[in-house]
């Protein structure tokens, strides 16, 4: 017999985002609540000031803000749907934490 496990998370369980600096000498983390205005907190690292959404003269700042706003809107919308919407989590993520 083979057992298979699946891991899911409901949108209502998502309360914020965690940004971690990719600079190996910094690795600072920033926790931001999903609700409310993010302002420019995710634009650069609060510790080393490395740019997080700007690179090669371009920026993804608007796209990040748009994604987070849509996620928050979707969380409200699913309350009125006739089905439950969940996200499947890669089982390797769970396995690596054990």
> Which sequence spans correspond to the domains of the chain?
7-97
Q: What is the per-residue pLDDT for 38? A: 63
* Low-confidence stretches of the chain (pLDDT beneath 70): 36-41, 93-98
User: pLDDT tens across 32-58, in order?
Assistant: 887 766 666 678 899 999 888 877 777
R_g of the chain, CA atoms, integer Å: 17
- pTM higher than 0.95, yes or no? no
Q: What is the per-residue pLDDT for 43? A: 81
Q: What is the per-residue pLDDT for 56? A: 72
Q: What is the per-residue pLDDT for 39? A: 64
């Amino acid at each position: 017999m083979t057992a298979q496990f699946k891991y899911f998370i409901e949108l209502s369980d998502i309360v914020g985002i965690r940004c971690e600096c990719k600079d190996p000498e910094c690795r600072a983390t920033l926790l931001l609540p999903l609700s409310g205005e993010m302002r420019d907190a995710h634009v650069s690292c609060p510790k080393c000031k490395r740019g997080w959404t700007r690179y090669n003269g371009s920026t993804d700042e608007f796209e990040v803000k748009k994604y987070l706003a849509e996620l928050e809107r979707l969380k409200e919308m699913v309350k009125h749907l006739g089905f439950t919407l969940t996200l499947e989590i890669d089982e390797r993520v769970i396995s690596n934490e054990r």
